[in-house]
């Protein structure tokens, strides 16, 4: 059973936008969208990756994925169709992925980015030195090879309300 089969076929975000677990037959379109945006696509079919498609009026307007590692979640492969950008779709995708991660027990989110740091900072993420990240995040394929070493690692609490209460998992690495 794939990870995405744990979820309903379609999840309503608002009147216009719906999240769908991505089927195997839709992976090529997902990879094409990532390639067009210059994002790594080599590991999207890996078992740890839960990919989603975001639909508006029967049209795919974006994609995003998570990798869940206990209390940590890696947000990744977030891309909005070029003709749908600037209308809040990206923010809704991030909000939905965070809510999905919270539903699955995650407390802290991580992501790597080369060219959208300011965007994610506007959504509450802050830069984290890689040496302070959990090993589970550092050993993902994104961290270990697919994202350039120059990619920034960003983090935020999954739920804004848990920002103060949640003790941030910090592992020391030699």
Ligand X SMILES: CC(C)(COP(=O)(O)OP(=O)(O)OC[C@H]1O[C@@H](n2cnc3c(N)ncnc32)[C@H](O)[C@@H]1OP(=O)(O)O)[C@@H](O)C(=O)NCCC(=O)NCCS
Round to whole Å and give the CA distance between 60 and 53. 7
Residue 162 Cβ vs ligand X, minimum distance, rounded to whole Å: 22
Site residue total, ligand X (CB under 6 A): 18
Binding mask 34-53 for ligand X (x = CB under 6 A): ---x-x--------------
Judged by CB under 6 A, the chain residues 78 through 117 that form the site for ligand X are: 78-80, 85-91, 111, 113, 115-116
The least CB distance from residue 171 to ligand X, in Å, is 23
Structure tokens at 86: 């600037």
Task: Work out how close the CB of 90 gets to ligand X at its nearest, in angstroms, rounded to a whole number.
Answer: 2
- Distance, in Å, from the CA atom of 58 to the CA atom of 5, rounded to the nearest integer, reads 21
Q: How far apart are CA 133 and CA 153, in angstroms?
A: 9
Antiparallel, parallel or unpaired: β 108-113 and 126-127: unpaired
To ligand X, the closest distance from the beta carbon of 86 in angstroms equals: 5
Q: CA 64 → CA 39, 54, 171, distances in Å?
A: 12, 8, 27
Give the list of residues 6+ apart from residue 161 with CB closer than 8 angstroms, or none.
none
Query: In this complex, which beta carbon is closest to ligand X, that of residue 118 or of residue 165?
Result: 118
Closest CB to ligand X among residues 9, 87 = 87
Nearer to ligand X, 22 or 78 (CB): 78
Pick from 56, 59, 64, 52: which is nearest to 17 by CA?
56
Site of interaction with ligand X (CB under 6 A): 37, 39, 78-80, 85-91, 111, 113, 115-116, 118-119
């Amino acid at each position: 059973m794939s990870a995405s089969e744990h979820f309903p076929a379609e999840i309503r975000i608002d009147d216009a936008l719906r999240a769908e677990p991505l089927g195997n037959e839709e992976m090529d379109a997902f990879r094409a969208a990532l390639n067009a945006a210059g994002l790594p696509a080599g590991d999207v079919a890996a078992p740890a990756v839960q990919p989603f498609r975001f639909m508006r009026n029967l049209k795919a307007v974006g994609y995003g994925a998570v990798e869940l590692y206990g209390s940590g979640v890696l947000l990744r492969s977030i891309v909005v169709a070029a003709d749908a950008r600037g209308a809040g779709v990206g923010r809704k995708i991030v909000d939905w992925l965070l809510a999905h991660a919270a539903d699955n027990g995650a407390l802290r989110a991580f992501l790597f980015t080369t060219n959208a740091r300011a965007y994610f900072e506007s959504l509450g993420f802050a830069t984290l030195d890689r040496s302070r990240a959990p090993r589970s995040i550092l050993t993902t394929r994104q961290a270990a090879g697919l994202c350039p070493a120059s990619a920034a690692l960003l983090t935020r609490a999954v739920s804004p309300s848990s920002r103060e209460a949640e003790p941030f998992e910090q592992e020391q690495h030699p």
